[in-house]
Structure 1
């Protein structure tokens, strides 16, 4: 019985450690999202417009989407770092929205979008499996 409890504690310790990393990843993804948004809003030539894309917005719209998601992610990462309960739910929501936005952003910057999708999945896993009362 106690070995089962020890395994559970070890799992929660791992989830706690990954949650701290998830807060840092969410913060970094938010910062980079802000920079990507500013770059797109400014009309930078960094992004290539693709023809025949069904979810096509103009670059300024994508810039605002990334800027807003980035700012919200930074705020939530701060709450997650201090262990706020609201931040756990908010982190799952903003990471889910980020996954959707990055999926739609794939034609513009595929490698970056795939990387952020993977990081968002790690964030969702970490904050959804961690139970702060156990550790």
Structure 2
């Protein structure tokens, strides 16, 4: 539709594009950090705090592989989000939710970063969910 019929459509499209780009960049940051975090846990698991009686206890090498794979998925989705496609937004929400869950479960092993990552995932999910299909730029 023409911007003369909807005077705020250009502003709306710019905001939608900005939120999607924000989510894409944050997804790339989360992907890189989780990739490095996974490598750290696989190679040198003594970097992490050990928690003896944690109910969701995993071997730190297992946590490393989980974070490594989620980091790779976040990187791929982050790149896809620059195309502003619906499938990338849906996968972005799913991967951010999985990252949020993984970081929640690993709070005892790396508390500060886990809480920061949960907040970043929440912003990514928000940024991807507030964009309507008709607001996407092509």
TM interval, short-chain normalised:
0.7 to 0.9
Please say if residues 19 and 127 of structure 2, whose CA atoms lie closer than 8 Å, have aligned partners that are also in contact: yes
2:46 is paired with a residue whose SS is coil
1:103 is matched with: 104
1:133 is matched with: 134
1:21 is matched with: 22
1:120 is matched with: 121
Cα root mean square deviation, aligned: 1.8
Query: Mind listing any 5+ residue stretches in structure 1 that lack a counterpart?
Result: none
TM-score in terms of structure 2 length: 0.86
1:60 is matched with: 61
Q: Distance in 1 between matches of 2:103 and 2:70?
A: 11
Query: Mind listing any 5+ residue stretches in structure 2 that lack a counterpart?
Result: 1-5
CA shift for structure 1 position 11: 5.4
CA shift for structure 1 position 7: 6.4
Q: Tell me the alpha carbon deviations over residues 5-57 of structure 1, each in whole angstroms, 9 at most, x when there is no partner.
A: 66676455434312201100100110111111011011342101111100010
User: 1:68/1:91 Cα in 2 relative to 1: closer, same or farther (>3 Å)?
Assistant: same
1:45 is paired with a residue whose SS is helix
> How many residues of Structure 1 are paired with residues of Structure 2 in the alignment?
131
Q: How does 1:36-47 map to 2 (within 5 A)?
A: 36-47=37-48
1:133 is paired with a residue whose SS is helix
CA shift for structure 1 position 109: 1.0
